[in-house]
Amino acid sequence: MKLLIKNGRLIDPAGAVDRVMDILIENGKFKEIAPAIKKISGCPTIDAKELIVAPGFVDMHTHLREPGQENKESIESGSKAAVHGGFTSVACMANTEPVNDNRSVTEYIIARARQVGLVNIFPVAAVSRGQLGENLVEMADLVEGGAVAFSDDGRCVMKADLIRKALEYTKMLGVPIIEHPEDHSISAEGQVNEGFISYKYGLRGMLKAAEEVIVARDLILQERIQSRLHLTHISTAGSVELIRNARKTKTPVSADATPHHLLLNEELIQSYNPVYKVKPPLRTEADRLELIRGLQDGTIDCIASDHAPHTRDDKDKEFEFAPFGVIGMETSFAVVFDRLVRTKLLTINRLVELFSTNPARVLGLKDRGRVKPGYPADLTILNLKKRFKIEEKDFRSKANNCPFLGWEGHGVVEHTIVAGNVVYSRGGK
Amino acid sequence: MKEKTFRQDHLLGIEQLSVGDIETILETAEAFIEVSSRDVKKVPALKGKTVVNLFFENSTRTRSSFEIAAKRLSADLINFNSSLSSLKKGETLKDTVLTLEAMNPHIIVIRHPASGSPHYLTTFARSSIINAGDGFHEHPTQALLDALTIQQRLKTLRGLKIAIVGDILHSRVARSNILLHQKMGNEIALIGPPSLVPREFEKMGATVYYDIRRGVKGADVVMMLRVQEERGAKNYFPSIREYRNRFAINREIFALAKKSAILMHPGPINRDVEIETSMADGEHSVILQQVTNGIAVRMAVLYLLKGEIHEALN
C-alpha cells in the first residue's frame, strides 16, 4: 500500500522544514520526503498544490464519553469528529463511566479505537482511583496498558500531598501529569468568571485565583520534583505569568489553551446561553489577549480543544443547571487559523507547532508530530484559502454545543491521513 | 388614561427598560391605585386573558401580589407552584412551560432560583414573560414598586441619594434598584461587609461603603435588605450577632440620613437583625406602603403588556 502526496507545502517544525515537498508513504509509514518524487504508476496520488501539508494534528484534551455516556459521544462518533477536524491523534480524558482508573478501561478504549480504525486514540488515565483525590491509581500498570498521561481533569487534585506523590511516582514512568488547575474550595458552585459581569448578572463566580493558586502550588512542587507537569486549558493572565516565570527557573512545565478561551470572553454570558458555560469560565478580554501573548512567546505550548460533548437536552436548560463544556475538535483549526493566523497574530508555522509538534512531544508520542521516514504516516492537509461556515449539519460529533456556530472565515481541512490511510477528505468520505 | 407607549414584549429586568418605560409604568400604576381604593376593586382591562403564576421558590407576598393584581384586572389566573427539588429531578423547565403554553396563556409570571431563567423562556415561549425574581439577578417589579413609593413620599425620583444596606452580592432587589436609580441619575450608596459588597459594583454607578454611618449620611432613602442566616454558614460573615452590630439600622444611624428620609425593606423583615424592631414600625418606615404599591405596579405591568384600553380606567 502506497500513497504519494505531491506539490504540497510541507511545514514540519520538528524537522525544520518549510518548503514544497513530495511525500511517499508505504505500509502506513513515511518512506521518502523529497522536493520531487516521480509519479509511480498505480500508486494513489494526492495533488496538494497550494495546500499546506502538516504532521498530523494532535488534540491532547478531549472527552469521548465512552464507556458510559454514549448518548453524548462515542469512540466512533468522536473519531469521526476528530478526523473531520484534521486530528490524527487524540488523547481522551478519564471521566468516563466507569472512570478510566484501571487497565481494563484503558485497554477497552484502545480496543474500541482500533475497531473504529479512524484515529489514534491515547487514553489519559485518572491520577486517583475513581477521581476521588485520595489514592493513586496503578500507574505503572496503566502505562503498560497504553495510558499516555494521568489526569483527574475536572476534579482537580485538591490534596497537595497527593499531587506531590503523583509527580514523584511518574518520574520513573516518564509520562506527564495533566492538571486541570482549579481550587474547588474557591470556585465552589461558580458558574462564570467572577467579576463585574458575574456580579451584574447575578451568577455565582469563579475567581481567577481558583486557577492560579493551583498553578502556583504545582509549579512550586515541580520546581523541586522535576517531573513532567502539563497545565491544561490555562485561562488567566496570572496563570500565563506564573508559567512564564517558572520557565525562567527551568521548572519543567508545559501548558495548553483552548480555542474558546483564545477567541471568546466573558461578555457572551450576558445572553445566559449555556453554550458559553465552560470550565474554566470564559474570562476577560485582558486575559484572552495575554493567552495569545503566551502562544506567541512560547509560554503556552499547545492548543487543545477540551472537546466536551453534551446532549441537546443537557444544554437546553437554565444556565445554572446546564453542564459545563463545549465541543471543539471539528472547529479548532478553522477558528484559530482564521482569527489568529490570518490576523497575523501567529504564523502558520507556529500553528503547526501548537497543533502537532508540541502536543505530540508533551504526550511523549515519540514518532508523531514529525514527518520523517519510518514514522507513522499521519498527515493533516489544509486549504488556507477555502471559505468555511460553521454549521451544525456538518458536525460528525453527536453533540452541537459549539460556541462558534455560524462563524465564517477561511481555512479548512482538506485531507486527514492516519497511518497512510485517507480517513477524511473534504467533500469525500 | 393616555395612549400606551410601552413597547416591551416582556418584563425581564430593569436593564431593558428606558427611563420613559419606567415613567410610563409608574404613571400607569398611579392610575391603578385609585382602582384599589374603590369598593369594587375590579376593572375589565384583562378580561379573557390568562395569567400563569409559575413559582419555583417559596413566595407569599410576590405571588399573592401578582394574583391580586391580575384578578383586579379581571384576568383568569392560575398558580403553578413547584419546588426546586422537582425542578432538578423531574420535568425540565422547558417542558413545564411548553405544557402550560399548550393551554394558551397570555402572560407567564416566573420566579426561579436560577439567574437568567426568564430570559431563557423568551427563547422558546410565545407568552409575555414577567420576571418575578430570578436568582441573584433581577426583581424588576420590586424596584418599580420601590420607585413608586419613593415618588409618593419624596415627590420626586431624581436628585436623590439611595443607600442600600446588606447582602448586595446575593440580592436581586439590590441589582434592580441599582439599575433603576442609575438610569434616574440618583446617587447610590451600597453598604455592607466587603464579602457581600464587592467593589466592582462601583462600575454600575454606585459607591461602596463598609461603614454604615458614612453610607447612610445624607441619604433620602435607606433600603435594608434581608440577611440570610445561610450566608453566615458560608463565612460571608462570622455571625448574625456581629453582622447586626455593624450593619443593622437603628435610630442613631438613621438620624444621619436626611430629615425627610424614608426607610424601606422589600420584606420579609428580620426584626432586630437588619432592622431595629421599633424602626420597622416607626414613622419613617414605608414598608407596608411598599406592599400596597406592589399591587398597583403589577397591575400596571400586566396591563401594559397585554391589556386593552378601557373606559373603566378613565
Dist. CA B169–CA A375, nearest whole Å? 57
Sign of CA dihedral A190, A236, A201, B263: positive
Mutation site, B54, B82, B119, interface A, largest A CB count within 10 A = B119
The pLDDT tens digits for B250-271 are 999 999 999 999 999 999 999 9
Q: What is the pLDDT of residue A406?
A: 97
Task: Give CA separation, A337 vs A348, A384, A387, B273, in Å.
Answer: 8, 8, 12, 58
- pLDDT score recorded for residue A61: 98
Strands A421-425 and A408-418: antiparallel
Written as nine digits, the cell of A86 is 484534521
In 3D space, the residue among B308, B300, B290, B313 whose CA is nearest the CA of residue B23 turns out to be B300
Chain A residue with the nearest C-alpha to that of B114: A320
pLDDT-wise least confident of A279-283, A315-319, B59-63, B139-143: B59-63
Q: How far is CA A3 from CA A37, A45, B97, in A?
A: 12, 6, 57
| pLDDT at residue B88 tops 70 | no
Sequence ranges of chain B with CATH classification 3.40.50.1370:
19-138+292-313, 140-290
pTM of the entire structure? 0.95
In this prediction, the residues of chain A whose per-residue pLDDT falls under 50 are none
Taking the alpha carbons at both ends of chain B, their separation in whole angstroms is: 5
How many C-beta atoms surround the C-beta of residue B8 within 10 A?
A: 16
Which residues of chain B have a Cβ shorter than 8 Å from any chain A Cβ? 87-88, 92-94, 112-117, 119-120, 134-138, 169, 172, 175, 198, 200-201, 203-204
From chain A, the residues in CB contact with B115 under 8 A are 201-203, 272, 319-320
- Asked if A196 and B138 come within 8 Å (Cβ–Cβ), the reply is no
Q: How far apart, in whole angstroms, are the C-alpha atoms of residue A104 and residue B1?
A: 76
Q: For residue B121, what is the nearest residue in chain A, using CA coordinates?
A: A318
Query: Is A272 within 8 Å of B92 when comparing Cβ atoms?
Result: no
Cis peptide upstream of residue A280 (ω within 30 degrees of 0): yes
More confident residue, A169 or B311: A169
Put simply, the answer to whether B203 touches A196 (Cβ < 8 Å) is yes
For B115, the closest of A201, A313, A317 (CB atoms) is A201
| Cβ neighbours of A11 (radius 10 Å) | 25
Query: What is the assigned CATH class of domain B140-290?
Result: alpha beta
Confidence of residue B6 (pLDDT cuts 50, 70, 90): confident
Q: Which amino acid would we find at residue B271?
A: R
A196 Cβ under 8 Å from any chain B Cβ:
yes
Please give the pLDDT value at position B312: 46
Contacts of B117 in chain A (CB under 8 A): 318-319
CB pair distance less than 8 Å for A199 and B137: no
- Res B314: pLDDT: 45
B84: pLDDT confidence band, cut at 50, 70 and 90?
Answer: low
Q: Is the pLDDT of residue B85 over 70?
A: no
* Cα gap B147→B297, rounded to integer Å: 10
With an 8 Å Cβ cutoff, are B116 and A195 in contact? no
**pLDDT for the residue numbered B311:** 44
Q: What domains lie within chain A, and their CATH numbers?
A: 57-362 (3.20.20.140)
Please answer yes or no on whether B135 and A272 come within 8 Å at the CB atom. Answer: no
| Sheet order of strands, B221-224 included | B206-209, B187-191, B161-165, B221-224, B262-264
Look at residue B5 and tell me whether its pLDDT is greater than 80.
no
Task: Report yes or no: A136 and A142 within 8 Å, Cβ to Cβ.
Answer: no
CB neighbour list of residue A415: distance below 8 Å, 6 or more residues apart: A46, A379, A380, A381, A422, A424, A425, A426
- For chain A, helix (H) and strand (E) counts, in that order, are 14, 18
pLDDT at B59: 87
**pLDDT tens, position by position, B157-209:** 999 999 999 999 999 999 999 999 999 999 999 999 999 999 999 999 999 99
- Catalytic residue check, A12: no
- Interstrand relation of A177-179 and A192-193 (parallel, antiparallel or unpaired): unpaired
Establish, for the pair of chains A and B, how many residue pairs have beta carbons separated by less than 8 Å: 60
Beta strand A177-179 pairing with B128-134 = unpaired
Q: Among B114, B136, B200, select the one facing A195 at the smallest CB separation.
A: B200
Say what angle helices B19-37 and B61-72 make with each other, to 10 degrees: 70
Judged by a CB distance cut-off of 8 A, whether residue A189 touches chain B is no
Measure the CA–CA gap between A51 and A382, rounded to whole angstroms. 6
Contacts of A204 in chain B (CB under 8 A): 136
Q: According to the model, what pLDDT value does residue A357 have?
A: 98
Find, among B223, B154, B163, the residue nearest to B187 by Cα.
B163
pLDDT at B310 over 50: no
CATH 3.40.50.1370 fits domain B19-138+292-313: yes
Strands A87-92 and A29-34, sheet pairing: unpaired
* Contact (CB<8Å) A317/B134: no
ipTM: 0.93
Q: A35 touching B, CB under 8 A? A: no
Which chain B residues are within 8 Å of A195, Cβ to Cβ?
200
User: Which of A101, A183, A306, A378 is the catalytic position?
Assistant: A306
Indicate the average pLDDT of chain B: 93
A-chain CB neighbours of B169 within 8 Å are 199
Question: Per-residue pLDDT for B1 more than 90?
Answer: no
SS3 B109: strand
Using the predicted structure, report yes or no on whether residue B151 has a pLDDT greater than 50: yes
